Structure 1
């Protein structure tokens, strides 16, 4: 039987501290920053140790294309219909106040429940699911 591995998600960004603080607010994680005056990296960690670590590293180039991998923030797990949409919209509003951008609301149909497409403070795509 294969062993379970811990993993981290790494983001390239221009301002690691800013992006890390945003994601810590989204997920309830805690931030670790380098020494004062440096902004070459930052880390978000789940205080319970259960969730994946998120690592943010400064790179010189900007984002130029759609992410091939994105984070789904599971805000509506177990909910359906209008109740799910209301929870997702409330979370969207909270994250917009933190600097996120809502790009699209996908409403439930006969095959799928609602979800909301968003971008973080540097334009990285994620979904409220």
Structure 2
């Protein structure tokens, strides 16, 4: 029996708070309260050494079911395809035209938040339709 109780998904990025807030909007996640002893995240950030300020940010599923998302600042930009990506399941259980309409509506919402539509992948013998997308720093994800 595995001893893992929870897991989080970690993103390397240039602007952790900006990317975290984007994913909060995409997934309905929330920013957790600041650490004990701090009234706001800004207060916490100002308390840290300058080189550590804005070095990470996180968001959580308000229901407690989904994984915590952690965003850490790295100096380099994204240069190759992700080895892991998220599938945002907006069309789960839907097929055909109903699925495509749902995906297109959600895609429009995400593009308005700053995401980039890459490609519509139409259903085939093995998979339902999905839309390949990128977040605001170019990380790939599928709208599924």
TM-score by length of 2: 0.84
Structure 1 runs not aligned, ≥5 long: none
Matches within 5 A, 1:106-121: 106-121=121-136
The equivalent residue for 1:102 is 117
Match of 2:86 in 1: 71
1:14 corresponds in structure 2 to 14
More helix by share: 2
CA distance in 2, matches of 1:2, 1:39: 34
| SS of corresponding position for 1:117 | strand
Greater strand fraction, Structure 1 or Structure 2: 1
Query: CA shift at 1:44, angstroms?
Result: 1.0
Partner of 1:55: 70
Runs of 5+ unmatched residues, structure 2: 33-40, 47-52
Question: 2:82 & 2:132 partners in 1: Cα distance?
Answer: 12
RMSD over aligned Cα, in angstroms? 1.4
**Residue correspondences, number:** 129
**Residues 1:31 and 2:44 are matched in the alignment:** no
Structure number with greater Rg is: 2
Q: Which aligned runs of 4 or more in structure 1 are off by greater than 3 angstroms?
A: 1-4
Question: Hey, what's the Cα distance between the residues in 1 that align with 2:71 and 2:8?
Answer: 10
